[in-house]
Amino acid sequence: MPAISRRSLLGGLAVLAASPSLAVATAETLTVDAGESPVTLNRFGSGRTGKRPAVLMLHGLRGFDLKPQAYERYANALTADGIDAYFVRYYTPADEQALATMHTSESRAPYEAGRFDAWAARVSAVLTTVLAGADSSGRVGLLGFSLGGYVAAAAAARDERVSALAVLYGGMPDKIAPQVKHLPPMIELHGEADRNVPLASGEQLVKLGKSVGAAAEIVRYPGKAHGFDFADNDPMTADAVSRVAGFFQARLSAA
């Protein structure tokens, strides 16, 4: 696995330590027409002038409101690097109602499997809108967490306009994996003690990426469980934020 070096760790600690004082600017709320129902976006502008890249952030099962400060750490790091960040609320009202009644992974799995195509299409609708913006550089990345990581991977496989993909403890939906012929450069971060989404799912995603010619790497976190980066005072939270921000800065700033 890539080494978690002292340099990267110290850089990550700086990001985490700075995040309370570098509060994310008030988000601009937007809506995008996406067929079944509009998608609501929270846009965090980097504050830089000129054309800029963007990252669309896709929430986990419980949405952005479960622990907003955890998602905001990533938005802080991205906007500090001149990248606009968007919270993409890809659920429809029907999704929210249905998932609220499903309390186990076994009960949710069939529903999620039947929705990945639609969710990926909703993300692509947002991508179209962001790319059409006057301040868009034409480069957009996807950042997905858990369930949102699966949605991000599915969308990136089907939409070649995605320039980079970062997945936190996710994978590729089983029914979509056999159809994949393209993936963008990607990074996958995964706790080795994850009991919700096995490490093998992240490893398979990276293997799939490499099989279709994508630059792909996985960073394994020994002893860390699902959602490890939501911890406020863990140095590995800082490491994850720093790695993801650095990945997008390198991939989205390329000519």
Residues of the chain with pLDDT under 70: 1-26, 254-255
How confident is the model over 115-172, as pLDDT tens digits? 999 999 999 999 999 999 999 999 999 999 999 999 999 999 999 999 999 999 999 9
Q: Domain for residue 54, yes or no?
A: yes
* Backbone phi and psi for residue 22, each to the nearest 5 degrees, phi listed first: -100, 60
Please report the pLDDT score of residue 39 as a whole number: 97
Token digits of residue 252 = 């989205």
DSSP alpha helix (H) spans, the chain: 6-18, 68-80, 93-100, 105-131, 147-158, 199-211, 235-252
Q: What are phi and psi of 112, to 5 degrees?
A: -60, -45
Question: Does the pTM exceed 0.85?
Answer: yes
Residue 136 lies in a domain: yes
Q: For residue 90, what is the domain's CATH number?
A: 3.40.50.1820
Q: How high is the pLDDT of residue 5?
A: 37
β-bridge pairing 39-44 and 84-89: antiparallel
Q: Tell me if 84 sits within 8 A of 52, measured CB to CB.
A: yes
Q: Which domain holds residue 214?
A: 6-252
Alpha carbon distance 244, 34 (integer Å): 28
Q: How many domains does the chain have?
A: 1
* 71 in a structural domain: yes
Looking at the domain assignment, is residue 199 inside a domain?
A: yes
Q: Pull the structure tokens for residue 130.
A: 């962001």
The reply to whether 1 falls in a domain is no
